[in-house]
Protein backbone atom coordinates (compact mmCIF):
# COMPACT_ATOMS: atom_id res chain seq x y z
CA UNK A 1 0.00 0.00 0.00
CA UNK A 2 1.18 3.53 -0.77
CA UNK A 3 2.09 5.84 2.08
CA UNK A 4 -1.15 7.73 2.76
CA UNK A 5 0.33 10.98 4.06
CA UNK A 6 -0.07 14.60 2.97
CA UNK A 7 3.27 14.81 1.13
CA UNK A 8 2.98 11.64 -1.01
CA UNK A 9 0.96 10.63 -4.07
CA UNK A 10 -1.29 7.62 -3.57
CA UNK A 11 -4.36 5.78 -4.88
CA UNK A 12 -7.00 4.00 -2.80
CA UNK A 13 -9.57 1.56 -4.12
CA UNK A 14 -12.63 0.93 -1.98
CA UNK A 15 -16.33 1.44 -1.35
CA UNK A 16 -17.97 4.80 -0.66
CA UNK A 17 -21.27 5.90 0.84
CA UNK A 18 -23.20 8.78 2.34
CA UNK A 19 -23.33 9.18 6.15
CA UNK A 20 -26.08 6.97 7.66
CA UNK A 21 -26.42 5.07 4.34
CA UNK A 22 -23.72 2.42 4.70
CA UNK A 23 -25.83 -0.13 2.83
CA UNK A 24 -25.91 1.99 -0.34
CA UNK A 25 -22.28 1.69 -1.38
CA UNK A 26 -20.53 2.62 -4.62
CA UNK A 27 -17.11 1.34 -5.61
CA UNK A 28 -14.49 3.82 -6.70
CA UNK A 29 -10.83 4.84 -6.82
CA UNK A 30 -9.46 7.80 -4.89
CA UNK A 31 -6.39 9.62 -6.27
CA UNK A 32 -4.38 12.03 -4.15
CA UNK A 33 -1.67 14.35 -5.45
CA UNK A 34 -0.16 16.78 -2.89
CA UNK A 35 0.48 19.35 -5.62
CA UNK A 36 -2.44 18.47 -7.89
CA UNK A 37 -6.01 17.31 -7.67
CA UNK A 38 -7.69 15.22 -4.99
CA UNK A 39 -10.37 13.27 -6.82
CA UNK A 40 -12.54 10.19 -6.57
CA UNK A 41 -13.78 8.26 -9.62
CA UNK A 42 -17.03 6.48 -8.75
CA UNK A 43 -18.61 3.54 -10.54
CA UNK A 44 -22.00 5.14 -10.04
CA UNK A 45 -23.45 8.37 -8.69
CA UNK A 46 -24.88 9.86 -5.51
CA UNK A 47 -27.10 12.16 -7.61
CA UNK A 48 -29.20 9.75 -9.73
CA UNK A 49 -32.00 12.29 -10.14
CA UNK A 50 -29.70 14.80 -11.88
CA UNK A 51 -29.66 14.74 -15.67
CA UNK A 52 -26.29 14.06 -17.32
CA UNK A 53 -26.75 17.15 -19.49
CA UNK A 54 -27.65 19.32 -16.51
CA UNK A 55 -25.06 21.92 -15.47
CA UNK A 56 -26.14 21.72 -11.82
CA UNK A 57 -23.36 19.72 -10.20
CA UNK A 58 -23.85 18.00 -6.86
CA UNK A 59 -22.29 18.80 -3.49
CA UNK A 60 -21.84 16.71 -0.34
CA UNK A 61 -20.49 18.03 2.97
CA UNK A 62 -19.26 14.52 3.90
CA UNK A 63 -18.58 11.22 2.19
CA UNK A 64 -17.37 8.05 3.91
CA UNK A 65 -15.38 5.16 2.51
CA UNK A 66 -13.45 2.03 3.37
CA UNK A 67 -10.44 0.86 1.38
CA UNK A 68 -9.81 -2.73 0.39
CA UNK A 69 -7.08 -2.96 3.03
CA UNK A 70 -9.44 -1.82 5.80
CA UNK A 71 -8.65 1.88 6.19
CA UNK A 72 -11.54 4.25 6.94
CA UNK A 73 -11.75 7.46 4.90
CA UNK A 74 -13.67 10.69 5.45
CA UNK A 75 -13.93 13.13 2.53
CA UNK A 76 -14.94 16.72 3.31
CA UNK A 77 -16.58 19.23 0.94
CA UNK A 78 -17.19 16.90 -2.00
CA UNK A 79 -18.04 18.46 -5.37
CA UNK A 80 -19.24 16.65 -8.48
CA UNK A 81 -17.18 17.78 -11.49
CA UNK A 82 -17.96 15.22 -14.16
CA UNK A 83 -20.49 12.51 -14.99
CA UNK A 84 -21.12 10.38 -18.05
CA UNK A 85 -22.92 7.24 -19.20
CA UNK A 86 -20.79 4.14 -19.59
CA UNK A 87 -22.03 1.17 -21.62
CA UNK A 88 -20.49 -2.17 -20.79
CA UNK A 89 -21.67 -5.73 -21.48
CA UNK A 90 -25.12 -4.54 -22.46
CA UNK A 91 -25.71 -2.44 -19.35
CA UNK A 92 -25.43 1.27 -18.68
CA UNK A 93 -24.09 2.96 -15.54
CA UNK A 94 -23.28 6.54 -14.65
CA UNK A 95 -19.59 7.22 -14.03
CA UNK A 96 -18.97 10.18 -11.70
CA UNK A 97 -15.86 12.11 -10.76
CA UNK A 98 -15.78 14.23 -7.61
CA UNK A 99 -13.15 16.42 -6.00
CA UNK A 100 -12.83 17.22 -2.30
CA UNK A 101 -11.02 19.60 0.05
CA UNK A 102 -9.89 17.33 2.88
CA UNK A 103 -9.23 13.63 3.40
CA UNK A 104 -8.99 11.89 6.78
CA UNK A 105 -7.53 8.35 6.85
CA UNK A 106 -7.43 6.12 9.92
CA UNK A 107 -9.18 3.39 11.85
CA UNK A 108 -12.44 5.29 12.12
CA UNK A 109 -14.54 8.07 10.63
CA UNK A 110 -14.50 11.68 11.74
CA UNK A 111 -16.94 14.56 11.58
CA UNK A 112 -15.16 17.92 11.15
CA UNK A 113 -17.97 19.71 12.98
CA UNK A 114 -17.99 17.36 15.99
CA UNK A 115 -14.80 15.31 16.34
CA UNK A 116 -12.30 16.54 18.93
CA UNK A 117 -8.58 15.84 19.03
CA UNK A 118 -6.24 15.49 22.01
CA UNK A 119 -3.18 16.47 19.98
CA UNK A 120 -1.76 17.09 16.52
CA UNK A 121 1.59 15.65 15.39
CA UNK A 122 3.33 17.62 12.65
CA UNK A 123 6.38 16.75 10.58
CA UNK A 124 7.94 19.67 8.67
CA UNK A 125 10.59 19.53 5.98
CA UNK A 126 13.86 21.25 7.05
CA UNK A 127 12.97 20.92 10.74
CA UNK A 128 15.97 18.64 11.28
CA UNK A 129 18.33 21.24 9.81
CA UNK A 130 16.69 23.91 11.99
CA UNK A 131 17.32 21.80 15.11
CA UNK A 132 20.99 21.47 14.08
CA UNK A 133 21.68 18.29 16.06
CA UNK A 134 23.73 15.21 15.25
CA UNK A 135 22.68 12.42 17.63
CA UNK A 136 24.86 9.77 15.98
CA UNK A 137 28.47 8.94 16.79
CA UNK A 138 30.88 6.38 15.37
CA UNK A 139 33.38 4.24 17.21
CA UNK A 140 35.80 1.58 15.98
CA UNK A 141 36.92 -1.14 18.40
CA UNK A 142 40.28 -2.35 17.13
CA UNK A 143 40.64 -5.26 19.53
CA UNK A 144 37.35 -6.82 18.37
CA UNK A 145 37.40 -5.56 14.78
CA UNK A 146 33.98 -4.07 15.49
CA UNK A 147 32.46 -0.80 14.41
CA UNK A 148 29.73 0.79 16.50
CA UNK A 149 27.28 3.54 15.60
CA UNK A 150 25.71 5.03 18.72
CA UNK A 151 22.53 7.08 18.98
CA UNK A 152 22.05 9.56 21.83
CA UNK A 153 18.44 10.69 21.86
CA UNK A 154 18.28 14.52 21.91
CA UNK A 155 16.12 16.11 24.61
CA UNK A 156 12.59 17.24 23.81
CA UNK A 157 11.75 20.95 23.82
CA UNK A 158 8.42 21.84 25.42
CA UNK A 159 6.71 25.20 25.91
CA UNK A 160 3.32 26.09 27.40
CA UNK A 161 1.68 28.75 25.22
CA UNK A 162 -0.86 30.43 27.47
CA UNK A 163 -2.56 32.48 24.77
CA UNK A 164 -3.77 29.37 22.93
CA UNK A 165 -3.98 27.20 26.07
CA UNK A 166 -1.71 24.51 24.66
CA UNK A 167 1.70 22.90 24.98
CA UNK A 168 3.93 22.87 21.91
CA UNK A 169 6.78 20.39 22.00
CA UNK A 170 9.46 19.23 19.57
CA UNK A 171 10.23 15.55 20.07
CA UNK A 172 12.98 13.44 18.47
CA UNK A 173 11.97 10.15 16.84
CA UNK A 174 14.30 7.49 15.43
CA UNK A 175 13.24 5.19 12.58
CA UNK A 176 14.97 2.00 11.41
CA UNK A 177 15.09 0.50 7.93
CA UNK A 178 16.83 -2.76 7.09
CA UNK A 179 17.36 -4.11 3.60
CA UNK A 180 19.65 -7.06 2.85
CA UNK A 181 23.14 -5.80 3.75
CA UNK A 182 22.20 -2.26 4.78
CA UNK A 183 20.70 -0.86 7.96
CA UNK A 184 19.52 2.75 8.08
CA UNK A 185 18.72 4.77 11.20
CA UNK A 186 17.11 8.18 10.75
CA UNK A 187 16.50 10.81 13.39
CA UNK A 188 13.67 13.25 12.79
CA UNK A 189 11.71 15.74 14.85
CA UNK A 190 7.95 15.77 15.34
CA UNK A 191 6.11 18.86 16.57
CA UNK A 192 3.30 17.97 18.96
CA UNK A 193 0.50 20.46 19.63
CA UNK A 194 -1.34 19.44 22.81
CA UNK A 195 -4.24 21.70 23.84
CA UNK A 196 -5.07 21.87 27.54
CA UNK A 197 -8.50 20.54 26.55
CA UNK A 198 -9.39 18.65 23.36
CA UNK A 199 -10.10 20.87 20.34
CA UNK A 200 -11.74 20.59 16.91
CA UNK A 201 -9.99 20.57 13.54
CA UNK A 202 -10.44 24.31 12.96
CA UNK A 203 -8.46 25.12 16.11
CA UNK A 204 -5.71 22.62 15.25
CA UNK A 205 -5.29 23.89 11.70
CA UNK A 206 -5.12 27.51 12.86
CA UNK A 207 -2.29 26.67 15.27
CA UNK A 208 -0.57 24.55 12.61
CA UNK A 209 -0.62 27.31 9.99
CA UNK A 210 0.67 29.86 12.50
CA UNK A 211 3.57 27.52 13.27
CA UNK A 212 4.19 27.03 9.56
CA UNK A 213 4.50 30.80 9.05
CA UNK A 214 6.79 31.14 12.08
CA UNK A 215 9.19 28.38 11.03
CA UNK A 216 9.20 29.71 7.46
CA UNK A 217 10.38 33.02 8.90
CA UNK A 218 13.18 31.29 10.81
CA UNK A 219 14.25 29.01 7.97
CA UNK A 220 14.18 31.61 5.20
CA UNK A 221 11.80 29.83 2.82
CA UNK A 222 8.25 28.41 3.00
CA UNK A 223 8.31 25.26 5.11
CA UNK A 224 6.61 22.20 3.65
CA UNK A 225 4.38 19.84 5.64
CA UNK A 226 5.51 16.20 5.43
CA UNK A 227 2.79 14.70 7.61
CA UNK A 228 -0.16 15.66 9.82
CA UNK A 229 -1.56 13.17 12.31
CA UNK A 230 -4.45 13.92 14.66
CA UNK A 231 -4.85 12.09 17.97
CA UNK A 232 -8.53 11.32 18.48
CA UNK A 233 -10.30 12.18 21.70
CA UNK A 234 -12.00 8.89 22.58
CA UNK A 235 -15.65 9.83 23.08
CA UNK A 236 -18.60 7.44 23.37
CA UNK A 237 -18.95 7.13 19.60
CA UNK A 238 -15.30 6.15 19.10
CA UNK A 239 -14.96 4.12 22.32
CA UNK A 240 -16.51 0.95 20.89
CA UNK A 241 -14.15 0.98 17.90
CA UNK A 242 -11.14 1.67 20.12
CA UNK A 243 -11.56 -1.77 21.72
CA UNK A 244 -10.86 -3.45 18.39
CA UNK A 245 -7.53 -5.17 17.86
CA UNK A 246 -4.79 -2.97 16.36
CA UNK A 247 -6.96 0.16 16.59
CA UNK A 248 -4.92 3.36 16.30
CA UNK A 249 -6.30 6.68 17.59
CA UNK A 250 -4.13 8.55 15.07
CA UNK A 251 -5.77 9.91 11.91
CA UNK A 252 -3.82 11.19 8.91
CA UNK A 253 -5.05 14.44 7.35
CA UNK A 254 -4.40 15.24 3.68
CA UNK A 255 -5.14 18.38 1.67
CA UNK A 256 -3.50 20.38 -1.10
CA UNK A 257 -0.67 22.53 0.19
CA UNK A 258 -0.04 26.01 -1.16
CA UNK A 259 3.66 25.46 -0.42
CA UNK A 260 5.58 23.48 -3.03
CA UNK A 261 8.10 20.87 -1.98
CA UNK A 262 11.71 21.88 -2.59
CA UNK A 263 13.97 19.38 -4.34
CA UNK A 264 16.60 19.48 -1.60
CA UNK A 265 16.45 19.91 2.13
CA UNK A 266 18.47 22.72 3.65
CA UNK A 267 21.66 22.18 5.63
CA UNK A 268 22.08 23.75 9.10
CA UNK A 269 24.47 26.53 7.87
CA UNK A 270 21.75 27.63 5.41
CA UNK A 271 19.23 28.32 8.20
CA UNK A 272 19.23 32.02 9.24
CA UNK A 273 17.70 31.45 12.70
CA UNK A 274 18.32 27.89 13.87
CA UNK A 275 17.26 26.37 17.18
CA UNK A 276 20.66 26.88 18.90
CA UNK A 277 20.40 30.62 18.17
CA UNK A 278 16.84 30.85 19.51
CA UNK A 279 16.92 28.31 22.33
CA UNK A 280 17.48 30.78 25.20
CA UNK A 281 14.45 32.87 24.13
CA UNK A 282 12.29 30.11 22.63
CA UNK A 283 9.54 30.31 25.25
CA UNK A 284 9.27 34.11 24.91
CA UNK A 285 9.33 33.97 21.10
CA UNK A 286 6.65 31.28 20.87
CA UNK A 287 4.33 33.01 23.34
CA UNK A 288 4.80 36.40 21.64
CA UNK A 289 4.08 34.93 18.22
CA UNK A 290 0.76 33.40 19.20
CA UNK A 291 -0.27 36.33 21.38
CA UNK A 292 0.15 38.66 18.39
CA UNK A 293 -0.91 36.22 15.68
CA UNK A 294 -4.44 37.62 15.34
CA UNK A 295 -3.44 41.28 15.08
CA UNK A 296 -0.57 40.46 12.70
CA UNK A 297 -2.55 37.98 10.61
CA UNK A 298 -2.77 40.21 7.52
CA UNK A 299 0.96 40.98 7.62
CA UNK A 300 2.08 37.38 8.17
CA UNK A 301 -0.33 36.07 5.52
CA UNK A 302 0.96 38.57 2.94
CA UNK A 303 4.58 37.80 3.79
CA UNK A 304 4.01 34.02 3.63
CA UNK A 305 2.02 34.37 0.41
CA UNK A 306 4.83 36.34 -1.23
CA UNK A 307 7.34 33.68 -0.16
CA UNK A 308 5.23 30.94 -1.74
CA UNK A 309 4.37 32.76 -4.97
CA UNK A 310 7.84 33.63 -6.21
CA UNK A 311 6.59 33.99 -9.80
CA UNK A 312 4.13 36.82 -9.13
CA UNK A 313 4.31 39.78 -11.52
CA UNK A 314 6.80 42.27 -10.10
CA UNK A 315 4.25 45.12 -9.83
CA UNK A 316 1.78 42.91 -7.94
CA UNK A 317 4.51 41.81 -5.55
CA UNK A 318 5.61 45.42 -4.98
CA UNK A 319 2.08 46.56 -4.10
CA UNK A 320 1.56 43.58 -1.78
CA UNK A 321 4.75 44.41 0.13
CA UNK A 322 3.62 48.04 0.52
CA UNK A 323 0.23 46.83 1.78
CA UNK A 324 1.95 44.64 4.39
CA UNK A 325 4.09 47.54 5.66
CA UNK A 326 1.09 49.87 5.92
CA UNK A 327 -0.95 47.15 7.64
CA UNK A 328 1.82 46.52 10.19
CA UNK A 329 1.94 50.15 11.28
CA UNK A 330 -1.84 50.52 11.33
CA UNK A 331 -1.88 47.66 13.81
CA UNK A 332 0.89 49.19 15.89
CA UNK A 333 -0.85 52.57 15.94
CA UNK A 334 2.38 54.39 15.04
CA UNK A 335 0.92 56.15 12.04
CA UNK A 336 -0.88 59.31 13.25
CA UNK A 337 0.23 62.94 12.93
CA UNK A 338 -1.77 63.77 16.07
CA UNK A 339 -4.23 62.03 18.35
CA UNK A 340 -7.63 61.27 16.84
CA UNK A 341 -9.21 63.48 19.52
CA UNK A 342 -7.13 66.48 18.40
CA UNK A 343 -7.79 65.72 14.74
CA UNK A 344 -11.59 65.49 15.10
CA UNK A 345 -12.32 69.29 15.13
CA UNK A 346 -9.97 69.71 12.15
CA UNK A 347 -11.81 66.97 10.30
CA UNK A 348 -15.14 68.70 10.93
CA UNK A 349 -13.81 72.04 9.65
CA UNK A 350 -12.48 70.42 6.47
CA UNK A 351 -15.78 68.63 5.80
CA UNK A 352 -17.77 71.86 6.25
CA UNK A 353 -15.48 73.56 3.73
CA UNK A 354 -16.48 71.17 0.94
CA UNK A 355 -18.77 72.96 -1.58
CA UNK A 356 -22.33 71.69 -1.42
CA UNK A 357 -22.59 71.83 -5.20
CA UNK A 358 -20.52 68.64 -5.56
CA UNK A 359 -22.22 65.38 -6.45
CA UNK A 360 -22.90 62.96 -3.60
CA UNK A 361 -20.30 60.51 -4.95
CA UNK A 362 -17.64 63.25 -5.13
CA UNK A 363 -18.61 64.46 -1.66
CA UNK A 364 -18.27 60.94 -0.21
CA UNK A 365 -14.87 60.52 -1.85
CA UNK A 366 -13.54 63.75 -0.30
CA UNK A 367 -15.00 62.90 3.12
CA UNK A 368 -13.26 59.53 2.97
CA UNK A 369 -9.90 61.16 2.20
CA UNK A 370 -10.37 63.60 5.07
CA UNK A 371 -11.31 60.74 7.40
CA UNK A 372 -7.89 59.18 6.89
CA UNK A 373 -6.05 62.48 6.62
CA UNK A 374 -4.55 62.07 10.10
CA UNK A 375 -2.63 58.95 9.10
CA UNK A 376 0.98 59.22 8.01
CA UNK A 377 1.65 59.28 4.32
CA UNK A 378 3.57 56.30 2.97
CA UNK A 379 6.71 58.41 2.60
CA UNK A 380 6.53 59.65 6.19
CA UNK A 381 5.91 56.09 7.37
CA UNK A 382 8.91 54.68 5.50
CA UNK A 383 11.21 57.45 6.70
CA UNK A 384 10.28 56.79 10.33
CA UNK A 385 10.72 53.03 9.96
CA UNK A 386 14.12 53.37 8.30
CA UNK A 387 15.25 55.91 10.88
CA UNK A 388 14.63 53.39 13.68
CA UNK A 389 16.48 50.50 12.05
CA UNK A 390 20.01 49.39 12.92
CA UNK A 391 22.43 50.87 10.38
CA UNK A 392 23.34 47.50 8.75
CA UNK A 393 19.67 46.63 8.20
CA UNK A 394 18.87 50.12 6.86
CA UNK A 395 21.77 49.81 4.41
CA UNK A 396 20.57 46.40 3.20
CA UNK A 397 17.21 47.94 2.35
CA UNK A 398 18.11 51.37 0.93
CA UNK A 399 21.77 50.95 -0.15
CA UNK A 400 22.19 54.50 1.25
CA UNK A 401 19.84 55.91 -1.40
CA UNK A 402 18.46 59.10 0.19
CA UNK A 403 15.59 59.13 -2.33
CA UNK A 404 14.54 55.53 -1.63
CA UNK A 405 11.34 56.40 0.26
CA UNK A 406 10.30 59.02 -2.30
CA UNK A 407 10.82 56.61 -5.19
CA UNK A 408 8.86 53.88 -3.41
CA UNK A 409 5.94 56.31 -3.07
CA UNK A 410 6.21 57.49 -6.69
CA UNK A 411 6.25 53.88 -7.87
CA UNK A 412 3.25 52.94 -5.75
CA UNK A 413 1.31 55.98 -6.99
CA UNK A 414 2.22 55.25 -10.60
CA UNK A 415 1.09 51.63 -10.34
CA UNK A 416 -2.19 52.58 -8.65
CA UNK A 417 -3.12 55.64 -10.71
CA UNK A 418 -1.06 55.14 -13.91
CA UNK A 419 -0.20 58.84 -13.86
CA UNK A 420 2.19 59.31 -16.81
CA UNK A 421 3.90 62.22 -15.06
CA UNK A 422 5.20 59.76 -12.45
CA UNK A 423 6.53 57.14 -14.86
CA UNK A 424 10.00 58.69 -15.13
CA UNK A 425 10.24 58.87 -11.32
CA UNK A 426 9.10 55.29 -10.69
CA UNK A 427 11.32 52.21 -10.46
CA UNK A 428 11.87 50.24 -13.64
CA UNK A 429 11.15 46.50 -13.48
CA UNK A 430 14.61 45.52 -12.23
CA UNK A 431 14.64 48.27 -9.60
CA UNK A 432 11.09 47.36 -8.58
CA UNK A 433 12.07 43.72 -8.12
CA UNK A 434 15.06 44.65 -5.96
CA UNK A 435 12.99 47.13 -3.93
CA UNK A 436 10.31 44.46 -3.37
CA UNK A 437 12.90 41.98 -2.09
CA UNK A 438 14.42 44.60 0.20
CA UNK A 439 11.05 45.73 1.55
CA UNK A 440 10.09 42.10 2.18
CA UNK A 441 13.30 41.83 4.20
CA UNK A 442 12.10 44.88 6.13
CA UNK A 443 8.77 43.18 6.92
CA UNK A 444 10.55 40.08 8.19
CA UNK A 445 12.84 42.18 10.38
CA UNK A 446 9.83 44.01 11.85
CA UNK A 447 8.12 40.68 12.58
CA UNK A 448 11.24 39.27 14.23
CA UNK A 449 11.59 42.39 16.34
CA UNK A 450 7.92 42.18 17.28
CA UNK A 451 8.37 38.71 18.82
CA UNK A 452 11.51 39.69 20.71
CA UNK A 453 14.18 38.32 18.42
CA UNK A 454 15.70 41.27 16.56
The model's pLDDT over 14-62, given as tens digits with 9 standing for 90+, comes to 999 999 898 899 999 999 999 888 999 999 988 876 554 555 678 999 9
The model's pLDDT over 347-376, given as tens digits with 9 standing for 90+, comes to 888 988 888 888 888 888 888 888 878 878
pLDDT for the residue numbered 280: 93
What is the residue-averaged pLDDT of the chain? 90
Residue 192 to residue 214: CA distance in whole angstroms: 15
Task: Pick the more confident residue, 238 or 32.
Answer: 32
Given a cut of 80, whether residue 211 has pLDDT beyond it is yes
Residue 182 to residue 278: CA distance in whole angstroms: 37
> Which of 250, 254, 125, 107 minimizes the C-alpha distance to 190?
125
With a pLDDT cut of 70, the percent of the chain lying above it is 93
Residue 440 to residue 164: CA distance in whole angstroms: 28
pLDDT for the residue numbered 297: 93
Given a cut of 70, whether residue 201 has pLDDT beyond it is yes
Given a cut of 80, whether residue 119 has pLDDT beyond it is yes
The dihedrals phi and psi of 100, each to the nearest 5 degrees, come to: -150, 165
Do 107 and 248 meet the contact criterion of CB atoms below 8 Å apart?
yes
- 127 burial (CB, 10 Å; 0-12 / 13-18 / 19+) is buried
**Residues in contact with 342: Cβ distance below 8 Å, sequence separation at least 6, in sequence order:** none
Q: Is residue 340 very low, low, confident or very high in pLDDT (cuts 50, 70, 90)?
A: confident
User: What mean pLDDT is predicted for residues 221-232?
Assistant: 96
Given a cut of 50, whether residue 234 has pLDDT beyond it is yes
User: What mean pLDDT is predicted for residues 112-138?
Assistant: 94
pTM: predicted TM-score of the whole model, two decimal places: 0.88
pLDDT for the residue numbered 377: 83
The model's pLDDT over 388-440, given as tens digits with 9 standing for 90+, comes to 999 999 999 999 999 999 999 999 999 988 888 888 889 999 999 999 999 99
> Which of 281, 252, 251, 260 minimizes the C-alpha distance to 157?
281
Amino acid sequence: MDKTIISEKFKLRGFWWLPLKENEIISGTLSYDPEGLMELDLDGTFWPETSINNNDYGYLPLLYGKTHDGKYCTLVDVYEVFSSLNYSHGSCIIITRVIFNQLYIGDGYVNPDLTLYKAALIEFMDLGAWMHQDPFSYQQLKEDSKEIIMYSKPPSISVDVEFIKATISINPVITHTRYYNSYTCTNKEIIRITPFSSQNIEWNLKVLFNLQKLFSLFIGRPIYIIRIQLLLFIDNEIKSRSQEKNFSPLVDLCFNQTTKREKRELLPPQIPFSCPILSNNWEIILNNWFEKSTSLETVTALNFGLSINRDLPVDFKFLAVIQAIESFHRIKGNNLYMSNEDYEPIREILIKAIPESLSSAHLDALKNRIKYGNQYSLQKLLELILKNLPDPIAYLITKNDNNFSRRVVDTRNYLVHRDKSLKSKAFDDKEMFNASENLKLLIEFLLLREIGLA
